[in-house]
């Protein structure tokens, strides 16, 4: 991992009302301490309707984790009913925006081109994209996982400068492991994250040493330390296990388990 500070991100998906989100954020703040934040960056990604409420709590209580969003449109404004623009998120002091999550790709038909437009737009609004890539079970069993992920990374980075690539986050999330209870072994996760870093090096040179690569896919308190011990895994994109503050705090504090 070198000098890359880990980023642990909680993706709450379509869970929690704004009142629930406030309660989780407050409970999480009680569970984490300064040494946790010194070791790990933490972002929380509530639903759009909860962003303002969570932002208010973070600002009022001077909390050290940062606000993230789950998605955005690539246009700044226009006749796109139901969408949210990057500039709207930036005004809420959002720091990270997830783009190309497998559920967006698989359920809502987002293409590599759409995801790339979003990554560029997120940077254009002064925020940082978390670019998600990953293969299906059929693709893995057919021996096409590496080709799929390599292609997604290359498409996602198109048009970005080396400086932007160095600052962003890529999340490897094997689709077959999301919400299924199945987790890629630490060795398999490391191999794919190393492939991602090699692809970044081919596209953007030295940016590969700075870019942070997360693993996502049934991350739990019990497996975080082993995953995070891998040299090319710089964080975790956590789904279900981030919905409860106690579980998410244990993931953030994975170092205490391994010490």
pLDDT digits (tens, 9 = 90+) for 125-136: 999 999 999 999
The predicted pLDDT at position 181 comes to: 74
Residue 152 has pLDDT above 90, yes or no: yes
Residue range 60-86: mean pLDDT, rounded: 97
Report whether 65 contacts 93 (CB < 8 A). Answer: no
Domains annotated for the chain, with CATH where assigned, are 7-94+170-193+210-258 (3.20.20.70)
Considering the entire predicted model, what is its pTM? 0.96
The residues assigned a catalytic role are: 101, 173
pLDDT tens track for 3-36: 799 999 999 999 999 999 999 999 999 999 999 9
The pLDDT tens digits for 35-58 are: 999 999 999 999 999 999 999 999
Query: Is pLDDT above 80 for 1?
Result: no
> How many angstroms separate the Cα of 250 from the Cα of each of 4, 30, 55, 225?
21, 12, 23, 10
The residues that bridge with 99 in the sheet, in sequence order, are: 131
């Amino acid at each position: 991992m070198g000098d890359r500070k880990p980023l642990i991100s909680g993706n709450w998906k379509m869970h929690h009302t704004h009142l629930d989100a406030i309660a989780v954020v407050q409970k999480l703040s009680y569970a984490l301490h300064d040494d946790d934040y010194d070791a790990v960056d933490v972002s929380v990604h509530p639903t759009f309707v909860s962003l303002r409420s969570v932002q208010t709590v973070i600002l009022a209580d001077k909390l050290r984790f940062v606000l993230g969003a789950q998605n955005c449109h690539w246009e700044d404004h226009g006749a796109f009913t139901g969408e949210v623009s990057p500039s709207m998120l930036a005004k809420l002091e959002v720091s990270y925006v997830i783009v190309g999550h497998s559920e967006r790709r698989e359920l809502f038909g987002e293409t590599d081109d759409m995801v790339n437009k979003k990554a560029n737009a997120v940077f254009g609004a002064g925020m940082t994209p978390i670019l998600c890539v990953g293969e299906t079970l059929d693709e893995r069993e057919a021996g096409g996982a590496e080709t799929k992920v390599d292609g997604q990374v290359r498409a996602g980075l198109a048009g970005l400068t080396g400086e932007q690539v160095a600052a962003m986050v890529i999340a490897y999330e094997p689709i077959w492991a999301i919400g299924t209870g199945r987790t890629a072994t630490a060795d398999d996760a490391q191999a794919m994250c190393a492939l991602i870093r090699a692809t970044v090096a081919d596209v953007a040179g030295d940016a590969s040493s700075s870019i942070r690569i997360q693993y996502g896919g049934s991350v739990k308190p019990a497996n975080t330390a082993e995953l995070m011990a891998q040299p090319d895994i710089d964080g975790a994109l956590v789904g279900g296990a981030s919905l409860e503050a106690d579980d998410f705090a244990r993931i953030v504090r994975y170092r205490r388990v391994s010490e």
